[in-house]
Structure 1
Amino acid sequence: MFVNSERAAGKLLTDVHGGLYGETDLYFTDELPFDAVDVVFFCLPKGGSVAFQQAHYIPADVRIIDLTPDFRMEADENDFVYGLPELNRLQIMNALHVANPGCFATCIQLGLLPLAEAGLLRGEVMVNAISGATGAEIRNADDMPCGQITGNMCLYKAFDGDEVAEINQSLHGLQPTFASEINFLSYRADFARGVFATIVTGCTASLEEVEAAFREFYGEASFTHYVGRAIDLKQVINTNKCLIHAECHADKLLITVCIDNLLKGASGQAVQNMNLMFGLEENTGLMLKALGY
């Protein structure tokens, strides 16, 4: 096992991540001993995975799990499988290369996929999603320093085309006739971690039909659960879970979804994908309890 870093080479992991005291004595390294590992996780900025793979030889039998957005869109020139287990479990199990979804895209898709599978997406979809301070990558954290985010909230991205394209790719695979707009606004707020999303769309189905679609779609899912009452972030923080709740208001369907952006939205889902790729129990290393309870 090795942890490569340009910025922290030579430092203990605990020098950078104090929460790991007593867990590991590993050092960051600038070396790349690919012949000593079975799988590599890329945790780089946008474009970093493409550049890294062009610059370095990685043996063909080393599996890759890429947490960058570089290979999330299907393309003939790459063999990356989109790593959302609730959607592509079998493909992930047989994959050499997996593109881990983004945290917002994970949260929003999990709230919409059962509707697409049942052909229930009919019109415009409006999404508002709030992420904690850790929603921005380290190199972009200065966009709102910690002192400014305390007791504060700001618009993060408006109508993000990359996130929407990622979501649409999956929805169209299940419901090819869906052609309405997804209007997506994201925010950063004064809490450490988590994504809480509200999704509003028109729907002619009854609440019972909607709930049945969710329960059927996620019947075999290890971490994604439909809940018959209101949900909150503390129920998922420090876990790899996704919780979903739906309500009908006249002709509108309101779906609420929450995940931990650092786990189900990033590293936890990456480990979930690794487990599937290597034939391990899907929940290996991921049986974590929510911090708030």
Structure 2
Amino acid sequence: MTAAAAGPGYPACGPIHRLVSFGTVLIDLVCVVPALPEPGGDVFGSSGSLVAGGGFTAMAVARREGLRTLHAGTTGTGPFGDLARAALATAGIETVLAPVPGLDTGVCVVMVDATGERTFVTMPGAEGRFEQAWRAQVPLRPTDAVLMSGYGLLHAVTRRTILAVLAGLPHEATLVVDPGPLGHELDPANLSGLFARADWWSCNGREATLLTGLADPRLASVALAERLASAGAAADAPRRGPAHAVVRIGAEGCILAVQGRPPVHVGAAPASVTSTNGAGDAHTGSLIAALAAGRGPVAAVRQANGAALDHLLRRES
């Protein structure tokens, strides 16, 4: 594996002036527990919080790092929807879609154990009801970075809209895909469409293994980059440069792979944190902001590593 300092100077993407995220925003009910309870059991949490989560974190970090950001998604009309919109407004994230009548924003119960690992139980809501008729309210530009999450494709209504967006994406726009914990369960045809068009694929080690069948993150990153390249070639998809795959490996940083090149390990600063919740989303948002600022792939990933750590330390302070 190549050292990060010797990373190649290949182009990262075209110019980016704005982030448009189709990631679903919901509310995280975070519970810190010593361990997950056994079936039928119970456990006391040591702390908890109710915060905007899902696609919110990536957008908030990108906006904090100076990139204009638009939430291309739906919220609900109940108290959780109010909380989501308030968080978006406070973070300086633009919104264009009206709340979905008669439906609240969904909730994700996040259980963080003593190792810092997080486990989710998601109860969907209005974020899964992005109707195709509303797509015209989110015009996309050639200088947009478009962020898509596997979560959106798991909801039938939102899936149809996202697939329509994918089909009409401007040739020059940069597509970043974060498959999420359930990305491997997507319909193979939908997953292939993402691979065919994505310029950047960002996931953690578990997700990479489930998508590739490879436990070694170095090999998985290479397999993802090559799959991006081969899927794009087969579909004659309009990718302007080499395909990039990032596999996050926790405290060790991440692996960056580009088709036809050796993988690069980009290390992270050592730190002790009690929760990893939101770190991957923070990493993705910072990565896009760094690309928009003109940084090369290795430098952008290194900045994203720092932002992920900063996010965790902010949550603990």
TM-score (norm: length of structure 1): 0.31
Higher alpha-carbon Rg: 1
Structure with more relative contact order (C-alpha pairs < 8 Å, separation 6 or more):
2
TM-score, reference length from structure 2: 0.29
